[in-house]
């Protein structure tokens, strides 16, 4: 993917650039709000990674300007501004995700990949499949092969999110945010507990496991050998 990073701290920018490049992406770097806006409007990026506090303005105003120019490029805010209202403000200004510094690089990578892969138009699919697992989005039912899985609505939601991002790492923080709407770090293994239940229904009765734990990062659903 082609990414734009708006970040004024050169060392942090280089660190992120190196990591993303190693993951196979190309990264443009801008250090000021003006440069960032210019590059965002000129270049065809797949994801914009925007720091909130940069010289020459707030990252929020850059994103607003990008949206006003009619560009729907996904945006993730990467920021030390983490007040009670700041996350909502970031999303209201046109951001798609909000990651607070300091963060683990794996978290950023997972979120950037999730955003970049998002289909740009409205997803009209009514059926999702991974291997022999199929989800009927209209009827909210799931099957593995011919066996119908008995899932609670919440389990279905969790499985759907995993399947929509199949082949990608989904972090615990992403799941907390998207499935439970928790914007804080719980002290209990909340995600793991739910995932364990889900696995007991989706994977355990079958010979082939689809949900994988990615050490130090999160989970992934994949039909790999």
Partner 1 sequence: MTGPRFLSSSALRLAAAFALIFALGGALMFGAFQWAVTGYANSSLEDDLRLETRLLLTDGGASDLAALQRRISARTRIASPFAYALFDATGRRLGGQLPVGISCDPGLNQVSVPAPSDDGAIDDEPILVRTLATSLPEGVLVVGKSTQAVHELQEWMAEIALWGAFGMAGLAAVGGLTAGLILARRLDKVNAATARVMQGHLGDRLPPIGLGSEFATLRDNLNGMLERLEASLQAMRHVSSDIAHDLRTPLNRMRQRLEQARGHTRTVKGLQAAIDQALTDLDGALDIFAALLRIAQIEAGTGRETFAPVSASGLVRRLFEAYQPVAELAGHTMALLTDSDREILGDEDLLVQMLSNLVENAIVHADGPLHIILGVSDEGTRTVLLVTDTGSGIPEEALPKVTRRFFRIDHSRHAPGSGLGLALVAAIATLHDADLVLRSSRPGLSARIAFGPAVVDRTSPP
What is the contact surface with partner 1 in residues (CB under 8 A)?
82-85, 88, 102, 154, 180-190, 193-194, 196-197
> C-beta of 112: minimal distance to partner 1 in Å?
21
Q: Nearer to partner 1 by C-beta: 147 or 189? A: 189
Task: Pick the closer one to partner 1 by CB: 47 or 173.
Answer: 173
* Residue among 161 and 182 whose Cβ is closer to partner 1: 182
Q: Least distance in Å: CB of 224 to partner 1?
A: 26
Phi-psi region of 140 (alpha: psi -120 to 50; beta: other; left: phi over 0): left
CB neighbourhood size of 18 (10 A) = 12
Tokens found for residue 145: 């092969």
Q: How far is the CB of 146 from partner 1 (least distance, A)?
A: 27
Nearest CB to partner 1, comparing residues 24 and 184: 184
Q: How far is the CB of 15 from partner 1 (least distance, A)?
A: 15
144 DSSP assignment: E
Burial 136-150 (b: 16+ CB within 10 A, else e): ebeeeebebeeeebe
* DSSP per residue, 150-190: ---HHHHHHHHHHHHTTTS-EEHHHHIIIII---S--SS-H
Q: Between residues 27 and 175, which has the closer beta carbon with respect to partner 1? A: 175
Q: How far is the CB of 172 from partner 1 (least distance, A)?
A: 13
Name which of 39 and 53 has its Cβ closer to partner 1: 53
Distance of CA 1 to the CA centre of its chain: 14
Q: Are 179 and 161 in contact (CB under 8 A)?
A: yes
Determine the Cα–Cα distance for residues 127 and 223; give it in Å rounded to an integer: 17
Q: How far is the CB of 162 from partner 1 (least distance, A)?
A: 16
């Amino acid at each position: 993917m082609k990414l734009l990073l708006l970040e004024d701290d050169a060392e942090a920018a280089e660190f992120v650039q190196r990591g993303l490049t190693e993951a196979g992406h190309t990264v443009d770097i801008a250090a000021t709000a003006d440069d960032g806006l210019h590059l965002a409007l000129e270049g065809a990026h797949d994801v914009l990674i925007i720091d909130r506090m940069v010289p020459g303005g707030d990252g929020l105003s850059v994103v607003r300007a990008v949206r006003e120019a009619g560009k729907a490029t996904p945006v993730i805010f990467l920021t030390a501004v983490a007040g009670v209202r700041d996350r909502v403000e970031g999303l209201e200004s046109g951001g798609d995700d909000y990651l607070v510094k300091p963060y683990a690089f794996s978290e950023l990578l997972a979120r950037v990949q999730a955003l970049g892969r998002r289909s740009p138009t409205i997803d009209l699919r009514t059926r999702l499949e991974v291997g022999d697992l199929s989800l009927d989005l209209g009827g909210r039912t799931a099957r593995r092969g011919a066996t119908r899985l008995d899932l609670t609505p919440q389990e279905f939601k969790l499985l759907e999110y995993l399947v929509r991002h199949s082949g990608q790492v989904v972090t615990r923080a992403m799941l907390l945010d998207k499935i439970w709407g928790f914007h804080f770090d719980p002290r209990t293994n909340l995600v793991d507990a739910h995932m364990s239940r889900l696995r007991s229904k989706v994977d355990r009765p079958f010979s082939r496991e689809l949900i994988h734990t990615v050490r130090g990062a999160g989970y992934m659903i994949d039909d790999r050998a």
